[in-house]
Copies of this chain bind each other. A is one copy, B any other.
């Protein structure tokens, strides 16, 4: 973390910890399992990260700082609302397809410990909704879109983009869809979702 050189071991640990924590969560993860996956002695985990909690926080912060900046595309970009929605939806779904564990990991752990987000706010570039609020307000005032609050629209955009990844086992079961078909369905959502949203706010 601080005193160590460019160490390889430290990275190995973080990589292994990422995999284990992201698939099993803080409570389900075992230090021994992380050590095994990293091919190192368990004591090394403590040598580099002191405790399970700190190792977890390192993993969480990294995950969060990977996910959060993506939201700047919708919140702080200068493009038009319609372009934003199109681009964000396309890029975000592409991004999550490459990191399918991410949203669920973050949501799960934030629910386990909601106060944790305060710690994060001070350590990570944290997106802010203010600019987006202004933009939506203006579009509504100009009668370009239906009357909707920025918050509700933001929630809807996030919901439509993220939920299918978080709830995949549930959705697969209800729709009787296998893994392959589900992947195609997610792929199709890159366009489907933005069409859906844009239509929803059109007058």
Contacts and interface: CB of A to CB of B under 8 A. Distances in A.
Interface of A: 24-25, 27-28, 71, 75, 104, 106-108, 110-112, 114, 117, 121, 126-129, 146, 148, 151-152, 154-156, 158-160, 162-164, 166-171, 173-177, 185, 188-189, 192-193, 195-197, 199-202
Contacts of A114: 169
Given A160-B159, A199-B146, A170 B110 contact: yes
A155 B127 contact: no
Contacts of A106: 170
A175 B131 CA distance: 11
B152 A192 contact: yes
9 smallest CB-CB distances across A and B, nearest first, come from A159-B163, A200-B200, A27-B27, A27-B28, A110-B169, A114-B169, A159-B159, A163-B163, A117-B173
Given A28-B112, A148-B192, A166-B167, 11 more contacts: A107-B166, A107-B170, A111-B166, A128-B176, A155-B163, A156-B160, A158-B163, A159-B159, A162-B163, A197-B200, A199-B201
B152 A185 contact: yes
22 contacts: A24-B27, A25-B27, A25-B112, A28-B112, A104-B107, A107-B169, A111-B166, A117-B170, A129-B174, A129-B176, A152-B185, A154-B174, A155-B171, A155-B185, A156-B196, A158-B167, A158-B171, A159-B162, A159-B167, A163-B163, A166-B166, A199-B202
Contacts of A177: 151
A159 B164 contact: yes
A148 B191 CA distance: 12
